[in-house]
Amino acid sequence: MLAGAWGSEIFRQTVLIVLASLFLSGLVMYFLKNKGHYFYISWFSIKSWLFFAPILFIFFGLPAPWPLVFLTCIAIYGSKVFFQMMGMYHRSYFVIVTYLGIIGLAFTVQAGNRNLYNLVPMVVLLGLCLIPLARNNYKSMIQYISLANLAFVFLGWSFMHLGLLMELEKGIYQLMYLIILTEFCDNTNLAIARSVGKWKLFDRIDRKRTVESTLVSGTLTVALAFAMRHLLPDGSDKYWLSAGVVASLGGLLGDYVMTVIRRDAGIKVVGAFIWGRGDFLHRMDRLIFVAPIYFHWMAYLSSQGGR
């Protein structure tokens, strides 16, 4: 008998369906990749997920605390990429405090203490503010403190809500559900943006997505949320519809916020993500708003019960 979620028939079936869907969609995009730029980048994105998704499922299927350990490693690596992007990785004191804060979040998740989880950002901010005193230096410290705090809040505190999500009923399934919906929404948006619509969303920030492609991809994501509602603790409309909307709008918001940061810093990509489009942060940025919004909304719905 397999330990963890791998012992569940639902988990194994979901893994098989997702991997088969990735393979089939990758096959389609492979033949369409020369038809347009967005088909091309969608093909590269799917190709990277054909490599990364099995690793994701392997760890999510293991017993606790391994899924949490895996999420913590992703959060730390994501913050590392952020520091590299902002030219701060050599500022080791700020990097170390951020890493320790993320590890602290993991311990609070493991302990099931949400109040302590929400206290960690204050402790990290205090630690960051003490660094100039410890270094007896004031030069550029406002910039370093602000950027390190931004890295921790987005790529630590926000992202690690995925760990809190595992505490909810059928938590590991909801985690898979959310990641699948968020990535699906982004890929469909990019794939159809050139052929659907002419009005750009925030064209001075990113000209790839259109209003029409966003509406179409959001509708398709809500439809997928309905099709996969068996992964939720409650298949009623309020659950799957909420999940589809949060994954669509929250993911788009996270993507644009990180794009603002990248463009202001004058850096588009920091290294490659396996074989695919963009770097590691391109896989995390859509979850920095989706994770906390989804967690707190689902926790609220669960607390309401049958009301």
For residue 184, give both structure tokens: 């699906």
The residue ranges of every structural domain in the chain are 1-62+169-307, 65-165
Q: Cα-Cα-Cα-Cα dihedral of 57, 61, 66, 71, to 10°?
A: 40
**Which pLDDT belongs to residue 34?**
76
* Residue 130 identity (one-letter amino acid): L
pLDDT digits (tens, 9 = 90+) for 153-179: 999 999 999 999 998 888 899 998 999
Instruction: List the alpha helices (DSSP H) in 1-113.
Output: 9-32, 37-60, 66-85, 92-111
With a threshold of 0.85, does the pTM exceed it?
yes
pLDDT at 282 over 80: no
**Do residues 186 and 251 touch, judged by C-beta distance below 8 A?**
yes
pLDDT digits (tens, 9 = 90+) for 51-68: 888 888 999 999 989 999
Most confident of 42-56, 136-150, 197-211, 250-264: 136-150
* Residue 25 identity (one-letter amino acid): S
**Which pLDDT belongs to residue 273?**
52
- Percent of the chain at pLDDT > 70 equals 91
Long-range CB pairs of 202-211, under 8 A, 24+ apart, other chains included: 202/256, 205/256, 205/259, 205/260, 205/263, 206/255, 206/256, 206/259, 208/38, 209/252
